[in-house]
């Protein structure tokens, strides 16, 4: 799965470079949106590259919450989840990042934690670096999401399934086969929840019909 994602991103970068080279050959003002459609690349990324703004991976700043290897591991997990059509929520991203910080903290010390808007900034950074549409992968494009108080949230078994994907971060430094196995288990758990929900709805409908007939 990781290899497929890497290949897709590499192809996307190649198309962006080809589109930029084509624009440079034009003598009239280019139609960025039309060219972006022709080359199947995001228009905002193409415009930024054409204007000379950097949108590819930047050097890892020392002020980042995660180390370079931790951020790469989290990015791999994030892209893997998106590829599997399970878009991580801000809470899931924050929890996964904090788990990485907790695992790398020196023994006996208080582990650092990311800020409340870090998850949104991370999503935006991944979108820019990999030529993705922020609106497709981030919960709210254009502004940071409202922070969710996990302790005050009512438990939802179906949202719990989505949150379970955050546990994939615990295996990001291991073989991808283990991640695939975990994802399969989570899908099985989700199917059990759906089956239970359908049975409960069928039982409620049956009871309603019986009471109505009386």
Three-class secondary structure of residue 45 per DSSP: helix
Residues 86 and 159 in one domain: yes
Spell out the long-range contacts of 68-73 with Cβ–Cβ below 8 A and sequence spacing 24 or more.
70/97, 70/100, 70/101, 70/104, 73/100, 73/169, 73/172, 73/173
Can you say whether residue 85 is alpha, beta or left, with left for phi > 0 and alpha for psi between -120 and 50 degrees?
left
Tell me what pLDDT residue 175 has.
52
pLDDT tens per residue across span 174-189: 555 655 666 777 787 7
pLDDT at 148 over 60: no
Between residues 95 and 159, which one has the greater pLDDT?
Answer: 95
Mean pLDDT of the chain: 71
pTM over 0.95: no
Residues 124 and 45 in one domain: no
pLDDT tens per residue across span 7-40: 444 446 778 888 888 888 888 888 888 888 888 8
Q: If you average pLDDT over residues 58-78, what whole number do you get?
A: 71
Tell me what pLDDT residue 6 has.
43
Residues 118 and 182 in one domain: yes
Three-class secondary structure of residue 150 per DSSP: helix
Provide DSSP, 160-197.
Answer: HHHHHGGGGGGGTTS-HHHHHHHHHHHHHHHHHHHHHH
Q: If you average pLDDT over residues 101-130, what whole number do you get?
A: 83
With respect to residue 214, please indicate whether it lies within any of the assigned structural domains: no
With respect to residue 103, please indicate whether it lies within any of the assigned structural domains: yes
Three-class secondary structure of residue 28 per DSSP: coil
Residues 22 and 94 in one domain: no
Residues 83 and 154 in one domain: yes
Identify the band that residue 165 occupies on the pLDDT scale cut at 50, 70 and 90.
low
pLDDT at 3 over 50: no
CB neighbours of residue 172 within 10 Å: 21
Can you say whether residue 5 is alpha, beta or left, with left for phi > 0 and alpha for psi between -120 and 50 degrees?
alpha
Residue range(s) defining the domain that contains residue 19: 2-50
Residues 149 and 76 in one domain: yes
**b (16+ CB within 10 A) / e for 123-138:** bbbbbbbbbbebeebb
What is the count of structural domains for the chain?
2
Identify the band that residue 5 occupies on the pLDDT scale cut at 50, 70 and 90.
very low
With respect to residue 63, please indicate whether it lies within any of the assigned structural domains: no
């Amino acid at each position: 799965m990781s290899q497929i994602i890497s290949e897709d991103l590499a192809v996307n970068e190649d198309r962006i470079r080809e589109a930029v080279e084509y624009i440079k050959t034009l003598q009239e003002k280019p139609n960025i949106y039309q060219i972006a459609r022709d080359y199947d690349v995001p228009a905002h990324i193409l415009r930024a590259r054409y204007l000379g703004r950097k949108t590819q991976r930047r050097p890892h700043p020392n002020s980042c919450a995660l180390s370079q290897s931790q951020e790469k591991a989290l990015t791999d997990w994030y892209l893997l989840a998106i590829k599997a059509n399970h878009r991580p929520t801000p809470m899931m991203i924050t929890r996964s990042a904090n788990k990485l910080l907790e695992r790398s903290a020196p023994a006996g010390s208080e582990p650092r934690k990311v800020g409340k808007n870090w998850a949104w900034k991370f999503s935006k950074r991944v979108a820019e670096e990999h030529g993705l549409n922020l609106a497709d992968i981030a919960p709210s494009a254009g502004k940071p999401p409202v922070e969710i108080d996990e302790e005050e949230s009512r438990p939802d078994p179906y949202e719990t399934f989505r949150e379970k994907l955050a546990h994939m971060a615990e295996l990001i430094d291991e073989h991808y086969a283990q991640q695939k196995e975990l994802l399969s288990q989570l899908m099985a758990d989700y199917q059990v929840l759906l089956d239970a929900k359908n049975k409960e709805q069928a039982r409620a409908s049956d009871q309603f019909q019986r009471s109505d007939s009386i």
